[in-house]
Amino acid sequence: MLQKKLVLGSSSPYRKELLQRLGIDFECVSADIDESRLEGETPEKLCVRLACEKALKVKEQVGEAIVIGSDQVAVLGDRILGKPHTRERALEQLFSMQGQTVYFLTALCVISEKGEIFETMVPTVVTMKSLSKKTIEHYLDREQPFNCAGSAKIEKLGIALMKEVRSTDPTALIGLPLIETVNLLAKAGLEVIEGIGEEE
């Protein structure tokens, strides 16, 4: 049986690498949207809305396909830590996170061929180590995580910044929660493993 057309609405190499782990064919289409926060919008609603807007925009471009959209925000106290984009902002973000608990919220939206929308959000609780400014600067020079929410690149050296990570899905913090991706793809009509719902 031919696999349904699958599109990942992202230009992120990390999300692409994660989805490749499932061993299914897909293509990537960049979703260029305005990621500004709406007035009074909670971090949870923000990341879910952006994930869905990305998926919807790509769905308009590709037509009959299953589309995946994802977004992530980092939350420290009452602050949302987005992508820093510059070294200076990354340094400020990481310095403020030292010894603190940071919540990384990763939203997922899957749209079926028929346009049905399935969405969810996976939280990851991260306790950061207390590190010197010199150590943080060395990390920034090595990894340049300027396009990562909260400047935390856990899939590489960023893991050394963290004291503890708690999540129901170990891939959520990297940017695409694969457990929920498999679940939502099934709802959209694509079983990653044929017969996955059958009893033994």
Separation CA 126–CA 61 (nearest Å): 36
Q: Tokens 């990894």 correspond to what residue?
A: 143
Separation CA 153–CA 11 (nearest Å): 16
Instruction: Record the tokens describing residue 127, joined without a space.
Output: 């306790």
Amino acid at 103: Y
Enclosing H/E stretch for 179: helix 178-187
Q: Tokens 């879910």 correspond to what residue?
A: 48
Catalytic one of 25, 32, 34, 71: 71
- Is 169 among the catalytic positions? no
Catalytic residues: 71
